[in-house]
Structure 1
Amino acid sequence: MRHPKQFEHLRKGVNQHPEGNFSLRGFTEREAIFVHITKSAGTSVALSLFGELPYHYTAWHYRVIFGRKAFNRFFKFTFVRNPWDRLYSAYQYLKNGGWDDKDRVWAERHWGDITSFEQFVTEWLTPERLSSHLHLRPQSYFLKDARGRVMVDYLGYFEHLPEDFARIAKHVNPEARLAHTNASKRGDYRDVYNRKMIHKVGKLYSEDVDSFGYGFDTVQRRKVVDQKLVGDSE
């Protein structure tokens, strides 16, 4: 509250980019907040609903930016993704240059000697390194507060993208149609894991696995009830 002009700029400012402008102004216009988790179809969802891209802020960041009253009033949603699939997507994305030179330089510095996804998982990936790049952070980091409470109203699933997008669009922008952008060209994640890798990634991302109902190649949906995640049938 001591810096109202800075927060107003965050809410209304526009940063131009060839692949799509970055701005949060659509959130205010439509009274909706999209928590854009990395590598979870967020670019397609954001451009389709708002015509612009948000940043990878956490839900807690948005409560600060928009203020508690507006945050509580707005419809808040996100998309989550199978942690094993998401990690493979993030690895391929960063290895191939990422979004910009900053990503490329980071990958070259940290993964220059990494020659395969298996080597990345078994030799490089550790609990401490999950926070070394935004694309490696657990999805729970984006959605939960310090007490573990879920700060969004609706949890969309990457695996059910078309139908979940349609439900969200009814709240946010009924005329929106899902456009697929920023899709990566790669094989099925299930083909690149062995048992040791499956176990290690499941342990490293155990909070996401348990919170969102994922198995290596299965999903049992969760929904948000009173800031907690419960089975979709409950």
Structure 2
Amino acid sequence: MIVSHRHRFIFAAVPKTGTHSVRQALRAHLDEGDAEQVGLFVNRRFPWEDLAAIRHGHLSLRQVRPYLGDEAFGGYFKFAFVRNPFDRFVSYCAFMLRDGEVFQQQPREAMYHFLFRAPPEQHILFQPQSSLLVDDDGATLLTDRIGRVEDMQASYDAICAHIGIAPSPLARVNGSRRSDYRRYYDQALIDGVAARYARDLDLFGYTFEGAQ
């Protein structure tokens, strides 16, 4: 997550949505009064002890709101990027098994393991994207704009125009080796991901085939 007092924005870093590329681009526009929390590639912490203790940078908007106050939180432009949950789940499995050839050799077996046999419920990368972006009611988005990974550069350029900074080409960071996500699925996996990430599909307008 990044909080820029200079440009009055909050970037909520949803995992597995190209957040490191966006962070890299945004850092060129931050100054000493701005704050970032991240734990991969770069190690930075928020100035608030309770949040800094969490250590990773995938914090929810609900978590940071009390530290900013209602006026700043309400007035700052809040944005995030999201991704088709079916694509994101494949990316998650590939990322978790990136140090070997298991996913390359048996991708569907790996997907069954994470989805059905031993789902890592508390792992922030496994949790629904919406869990970082909704209010306490679990349904109302706190963001002012949602960008899409499927149209990432155009989404980022539009966000830059809104917050008044110059856009720049986004680099590819932390990508995984895999094919089109649709090739990895059978019907049981489609149904399982649809059930687990139902709120993401509904809030962000995705189906198995893509964005509605």
State the TM bucket, normalised to the shorter chain: 0.7 to 0.9
- Trace 1:76-87 onto structure 2 (pairs within 5 A): 76-87=78-89
Aligned amino acid, residue 198 of structure 1:
I
Q: Aligned to 1:167, which of 158, 175, 188? A: 158
Q: Distance in 2 between matches of 1:219 and 1:59?
A: 24
Aligned length: 182
**3-state secondary structure, aligned to 1:66:** helix
Corresponding position of 1:146: 136
- CA spacing shift, 1:124–1:131, aligned 2, 3 Å: closer
Query: Greater relative contact order: 1 or 2 (C-alpha under 8 angstroms, separation 6 or more)?
Result: 2
Q: Which runs of 5+ in 2 are unaligned?
A: 31-35, 38-56
- Trace 1:84-103 onto structure 2 (pairs within 5 A): 84-97=86-99
Corresponding position of 2:123: 133
Q: Distance in 2 between matches of 1:127 and 1:67?
A: 42
Shift of 1:123: 4.1
Structure 1 runs (4+) deviating above 6 angstroms are none
Shift of 1:64: 2.1
1:45 matched to 2:22? The reply is yes
Q: Aligned to 1:199, which of 191, 194, 200? A: 191
Q: Distance in 2 between matches of 1:43 and 1:131?
A: 23
Corresponding position of 2:33: none
Corresponding position of 1:155: 146
Q: Which has the larger helix fraction?
A: 1
Q: If the length of structure 1 is used for normalisation, what is the TM-score?
A: 0.70
Shift of 1:210: 1.2
1:177 matched to 2:154? The reply is no
Aligned partners of 2:9 and 2:76 also within 8 Å: yes
Aligned partners of 1:49 and 1:169 also within 8 Å: no
Deviates more, 1:78-87 or 1:210-219: 210-219
Question: Per-residue CA shift, 1:54-102, capped at 9, x if unaligned?
Answer: 42111111212322211101000011100010011111112115xxxxx
Shift of 1:178: 2.7
Aligned partners of 2:90 and 2:111 also within 8 Å: no
- CA spacing shift, 1:30–1:92, aligned 2, 3 Å: same
Aligned amino acid, residue 139 of structure 1:
Q
Q: Distance in 1 between matches of 2:9 and 2:142?
A: 13
Corresponding position of 1:218: 210
Q: Which runs of 5+ in 1 are unaligned?
A: 1-22, 98-107, 221-234
Q: Distance in 2 between matches of 1:215 and 1:152?
A: 21
Aligned amino acid, residue 69 of structure 1:
E
- CA spacing shift, 1:179–1:201, aligned 2, 3 Å: same
1:34 matched to 2:18? The reply is no
RMSD: 2.4
Aligned partners of 1:49 and 1:172 also within 8 Å: no
